[in-house]
Structure 1
Amino acid sequence: GYLEQVEGDSHLWLDPAYDEVRQLIAEGAAELAENYDIDGLHFDDYFYPTTAEDFDAQCFAAQTEFDDLSQWRLNNISLMVGEIYSAVKAVDKDILVGVSPQGNMENNYEYMYADVKKWCSEEGYIDYICPQIYFGYENSVKPYEDTLQQWADICTTDVTLVAGLGAYKIDSESEFSENIGIIGRQINDAVVSYNYAGAAVYGYGSLFGGSERGCQELKSIKSAFDKLDTSTK
């Protein structure tokens, strides 16, 4: 029924193909909006837990609207996101609803079934999007500036575009560890050169864990945000 399993995984997963599942999740979002003083509701980049066809084969076979499994799953997630949005806005239109999808746009379609282009070009899904553009300028697959442009190109409505940046990579990837100030530079490039509304930085431990490298990068991040604040006043 509504709960599915993934091979090699001990969890039970709610299947978003079912009206009842989407309603349950939307009601949970509405409960948060009603009972807590929150500014927004933020979803990370995980939607479908697998690409395996047997995950929801029975449910897919029972419907007649879609011939293509991927398109059907994309639609299921869009229905869910739209229902969450409507449920929250019915409680308080000022509460923001947003998603932080994978920075590699193609991965959202091939693995997560997250139709980010639809959400960024049509009303009723999200208020903001914060793609995890955790890539360096020299990344061979998704170089930073090209990826900034790719996301900017799909935001054709009033959806606010925020750059998600990977400060955690100063601990693990040479381009980030060897270039002091790279995250500050990325903040500036996103906002000034590509017209992003702002940036969000992940994660806390890399900057506030007490390492010398983290302290260096934190200074550059603060400086970048301070300059943007000054330039917009």
Structure 2
Amino acid sequence: MKRSVICLIIIVSLLLPCISFAETTEMRAVWFSYQDYKSNLFALSENDFRAGADEICKNISEAGMNTIIFHVRAFSDAFYDSAYFQYSKYVQGEAGVSPGYDPLKLMCEATRKYGLSIHAWINPYRIGAPTNVTESSVAHSWKSLYGNDRICEYNGSWYYNPASPYVREYIINGVREIVKNYDVDGIHFDDYFYPTADESFDKTSYEASGTALSLNEWRLENVNTLIKDTYSAIKEINPNVVFGISPNADIEKNYESLFADVKKWGSQSGYADYITPQIYFGFENSTLPFEQTTDRWCELCTEPDLYIGIAAYKSGLEDKWAGNGKNEWIERSDICSRQIAYIRSKENCKGFMLFSYSSLFSESANPSAKAELEKITSLLKESQTTPKPVISFMDMIKTILKYIFIFN
């Protein structure tokens, strides 16, 4: 018996390091916006759409990336068959017109062919110019019946009122139908929350609420409620579908203007599975230099996974508001690849997202963007490694039992 115990200890100590545990996969994503849709998939037949979706996914995969963030709701519309939102005008050229197939369904199928993940990207509150809102839409009906209680106006555009529980349920129902009906890996909200800090935007709702909170606190709580309830709704349907948010890179602006409580989302569970701040700045930006801004987000984001949004669309262009760094994207064609390298040097950064697809993969992409894509692809290919064969837990148990039998 003593020999068996000694043998067991020796064998376990030798085999334990070989057990395979799940590893975190680096997020390597590309945003595919409604503008990318218009440039690549607009008004296509089903067969042509399938071919186009295959080409898009093939390009992303061959560049060493693994995820597409696919726009499914840009302006209170849909790029799929929805029971709540009309088809986007960017699908066929006219709002409410079906292409005769389901774009999101076909894009999901294409991603699986090429081993990609797909996150459905939603702008929750943005509706757009009233001239683009059809009379048969929910937004038009609500504005006519309820005015600013559900639809607010700012700078010539309409927005859903974040204070309205009816708005919140409507947005979440749109999320539910995607998670229930489509093979998506994630739901993705970006940085469009409140469009302004102007007190008049939702003054009536604030006064009617009777809250003891300040206006800013109340607005933050309105958005927090949507985020938390969206997270819960997703997990109730499918716990494996992740919920991510891509806020503005400027932490102070999130609080003072957009009313996005990024500190809470980044430090508490139950709000998001990942945060992707849009750090669309070069290393030499005078106000929000990339490294320092990334470092701040690393300190802030301790609960969900942290990915970093990168501005591939700036490649080869003047960065007008960057101060001393306004020519950085013109003078260098390795900014994105260097930013990826910096992200990888940070322990709690788990990956990156590039904006946007057409900026990198379009035939008309500028030479600097094409050079960036080559460098990114090379960097990602170099870092791809084949896992060494490992022994499974069951094989280890079988081996232990075998040697115990031999020694006895």
Fold in common (TM above 0.5): yes
RMSD of aligned Cα (Å)? 1.8
Q: Compute the displacement of 1:7 (Å).
A: 4.2
Give the alignment of 1:1-233 within 5 angstroms: 1=146, 2-11=149-158, 13-157=159-303, 159-173=304-318, 174-193=327-346, 195-210=348-363, 211-230=366-385
Q: How many residues align?
A: 231
Q: Compute the displacement of 1:227 (Å).
A: 3.5
CA distance in 2, matches of 1:223, 1:121: 34
| Residues 171/61 of structure 1: CA separation in 2 closer, same or farther (3 Å cut) | same
CA contact (8 A) 1:42 1:97 kept: yes
CA distance in 1, matches of 2:386, 2:199: 51
CA contact (8 A) 2:154 2:196 kept: no
| Matched residue SS, 1:197 | strand
Select the structure of larger CA radius of gyration: 2
Q: Compute the displacement of 1:206 (Å).
A: 2.1
- The structure 1 segments of at least 4 consecutive aligned residues displaced by more than 6 Å after TM superposition are none
CA distance in 1, matches of 2:347, 2:328: 22
Q: Compute the displacement of 1:202 (Å).
A: 0.8
Does 1 or 2 have the higher relative contact order (CA < 8 Å, sep 6+)? 2
CA contact (8 A) 1:70 1:113 kept: yes
TM-score (norm 2): 0.54
| Residues 179/109 of structure 1: CA separation in 2 closer, same or farther (3 Å cut) | same
Output one character per residue of 1:118-162: Cα deviation in whole Å (capped at 9) or x when no partner: 0011111110011100111111101111001100001122x0100
CA distance in 2, matches of 1:232, 1:106: 42
CA contact (8 A) 1:47 1:77 kept: yes
| Matched residue SS, 1:229 | coil
CA distance in 1, matches of 2:372, 2:361: 10
The amino acid across from 1:5 in the alignment is C
The amino acid across from 2:192 in the alignment is Y
CA contact (8 A) 1:108 1:114 kept: yes
CA distance in 1, matches of 2:210, 2:262: 24
CA distance in 2, matches of 1:194, 1:94: 24
CA distance in 1, matches of 2:215, 2:341: 40
CA contact (8 A) 1:185 1:224 kept: no
CA contact (8 A) 2:150 2:166 kept: no
Q: Compute the displacement of 1:231 (Å).
A: 9.9
Q: Compute the displacement of 1:163 (Å).
A: 0.8
CA contact (8 A) 2:282 2:290 kept: yes
Please list every run of 5 or more consecutive structure 1 residues that lacks an aligned counterpart in the other structure: none
Output one character per residue of 1:1-30: Cα deviation in whole Å (capped at 9) or x when no partner: 43233243143x221112222122112111
TM-score (norm 1): 0.92
Please list every run of 5 or more consecutive structure 2 residues that lacks an aligned counterpart in the other structure: 1-145, 319-326, 389-408
The amino acid across from 1:206 in the alignment is S
Q: Compute the displacement of 1:50 (Å).
A: 2.0
